[in-house]
Amino acid sequence: MAWNQKLGRAGEQHVARWLEDHGVIVVARNWRGTAGEADLIGDDGARLRVVEVKTRSSGACGHPLEAIDSGKYRRLWKLGNEFRDGYAYPRDIVVDAAAVSRRDQRWTVEYLADVRP
């Protein structure tokens, strides 16, 4: 596995723990559907949360959330609907985004709930 893939997986793991600490049950990781892959899918008891995780190290340029545009939002929304329908989840869907940064061995999570383009 390449260094950037390892960094991305570590960021996803960190966000999964963050979600669980905030009462969200992670029901799927790296779930693949016809529209691509959802990093994390969580259930907060009221909504099904499709979470896009962007991880950057201290040397990377730009904010991690700059990579989430309207096209990516639509793809994540489709994935959420596909997951919900396939597993008969009785929940509304929201798309969330998490920016994970690692600097000097410290992880920071910036979480945006219910993002919209």
* 117 located within any domain: no
Q: Both ends of the chain: CA-CA distance in Å?
A: 32
* Residue in this structure with the two tokens 């309207």, named with its chain if needed: 70
Residue 22 maps to a domain: yes
Q: State the pTM of this model.
A: 0.89
User: Is residue 95 a contact partner of residue 115, using CB atoms and an 8 Å limit?
Assistant: yes
Q: Which residue range is the domain that position 69 belongs to?
A: 3-112
Q: Is residue 105 part of a domain?
A: yes
**How would you class 96 by CB atoms within 10 Å of its CB: exposed for 0-12, middle for 13-18, buried for 19 or more?**
buried
Q: Looking at residue 64, what is its pLDDT?
A: 64
Confidence of residue 104 (pLDDT cuts 50, 70, 90): confident
Beta bridge partner(s), residue 25: 43
**What's the pLDDT tens digit per position in 34-56?**
999 999 999 999 999 999 998 87
> What's the rounded Cα separation, in Å, for the pair 100 and 12?
8
Q: What is the CATH number of the domain that holds 19?
A: 3.40.1350.10
Number of domains in the chain: 1
Q: Is the pLDDT of residue 59 over 60?
A: no
Residue 104 lies in a domain: yes
**Given this model, what pLDDT does residue 65 score?**
73
